[in-house]
């Protein structure tokens, strides 16, 4: 991403911003609420006026955005339905089914979203994001409103399923960034600046009890506090 200007409702969120994301790896953008993380991600997705998408992307928002009138399988295949391509949809169905099984919803294939718990809905949204089969995946605090343990489970699942894709995930949770990010960048200031690359050692998902990880978490929290 080069020389991006992001303006939201007349406020400059970021000026002349250039960022590189390593291919096939997960980059976590960490920042406090309101810093402009979501705007940055929406800019990358081509959802802000004047921005073009960074190529074909799969986008996972804070909310699961499941359509309440479609069952899990149809929700996961939504992209194919919306592109009005029945042949591709039929071809993608076995993959959709196996993704749904992988996120643990194999027995809820045709259930409506309203019958699922928050964690299950977010799993279905993850399966939908992956079913799009795009090289670039943008995720906006996808597990932000889940309880702590469910969040850890879903992080493990996401790390496993997102392997090999170029993922940009924004989050306000230092632990989440440390568990999932090959690289972590801290966003702070107004308009925000992006900090240097932090690359913790070890493969993702990292163990949340690891001493080195917890030390890094303390450092990140201190940095986030200072930045405001």
Partner 1 sequence: MRPLLTAFGLIAAWEALVWLSGVPPYILPPPSRVAVVLIERFDLLIEQAAWTAAEMVLGLMLGLVLGAALAIVFAASAGWRRWALPLVIVSQAVPVIAVAPLLVLWLGYGMASKVAMAALVIFFPVVSSLYDGLRRTDPGWLELARTMNAPPRAILLHIRLPAALPAFASGARIAAAVAPIGAVIGEWVGASAGLGFLMTQSLARGQTPLAFAALVILCLLGLALYYATDRAARRLVPWQPFQGD
Other C-beta atoms lying within 10 Å of the C-beta of residue 9: 6
Contacts of partner 1 in 113-172 (CB under 8 A): 114, 132
Work out whether 8 is an interface residue with partner 1 (CB under 8 A).
no
Nearest distance from C-beta of residue 208 to partner 1, angstroms? 30
Pairing between β-strand 57-60 and β-strand 4-8 as defined by DSSP bridges:
unpaired
Nearer to partner 1, 42 or 121 (CB): 42
Nearer to partner 1, 115 or 228 (CB): 115
Determine if the peptide bond prior to 205 is cis (ω within 30°): yes
Q: Which of 59, 89, 162, 204 binds partner 1 (CB under 8 A)?
A: 59
Nearest distance from C-beta of residue 47 to partner 1, angstroms? 5
Two tokens, residue 177: 């960034």
Separation CA 73–CA 204 (nearest Å): 28
Show the site string, 10-49: x = touches partner 1 by CB under 8 A, - = not: --------------------------------x--xxx--
Size of the site for partner 1 (CB under 8 A): 24
Q: What are phi and psi of 59, to 5 degrees?
A: -120, 130
DSSP-derived 3-state class of residue 90: helix
Nearer to partner 1, 56 or 212 (CB): 56
Q: Which of 7, 51, 65, 194 binds partner 1 (CB under 8 A)?
A: 65
Two tokens, residue 50: 């004047």
Contacts of partner 1 in 66-95 (CB under 8 A): 67-69, 78-79, 81-84
Exposure string (b/e) for 54-86, b if CB count within 10 Å is 16 or more? beebbbbbeebebeeebbbbbbbbbbbeeeeee
**Which stretches of the chain bind partner 1, using CB under 8 A?**
42, 45-47, 53, 56-59, 61, 63, 65, 67-69, 78-79, 81-84, 112, 114, 132
């Amino acid at each position: 991403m080069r020389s991006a200007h992001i303006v939201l409702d007349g406020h400059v969120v970021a000026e002349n911003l250039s960022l590189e994301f390593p291919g096939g790896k997960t980059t976590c953008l960490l920042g406090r609420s309101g810093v402009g993380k979501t705007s940055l991600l929406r800019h990358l997705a081509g959802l802000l006026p004047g921005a073009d998408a960074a190529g074909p992307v799969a986008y996972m928002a804070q909310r699961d955005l499941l359509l309440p009138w479609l069952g899990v399988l149809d929700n996961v295949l939504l992209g194919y339905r919306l592109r009005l391509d029945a042949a591709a949809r039929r071809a993608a169905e076995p993959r959709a089914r196996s993704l749904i099984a992988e996120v643990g919803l194999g027995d809820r294939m045709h259930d409506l979203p309203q019958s699922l718990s928050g964690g299950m809905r977010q799993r279905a949204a993850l399966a939908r994001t992956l079913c799009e089969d795009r090289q670039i995946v943008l995720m906006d605090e996808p597990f932000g409103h889940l309880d702590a343990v469910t969040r850890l489970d879903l992080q493990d699942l996401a790390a496993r399923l997102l392997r090999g894709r170029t993922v940009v995930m924004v989050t306000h949770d230092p632990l989440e960034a440390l568990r999932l990010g090959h690289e972590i960048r801290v966003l702070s200031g107004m308009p925000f600046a992006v900090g240097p690359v932090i690359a913790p050692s070890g493969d993702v998902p990292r163990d949340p009890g690891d001493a080195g990880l917890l030390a890094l978490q303390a450092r990140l929290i201190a940095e986030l506090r200072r930045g405001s």
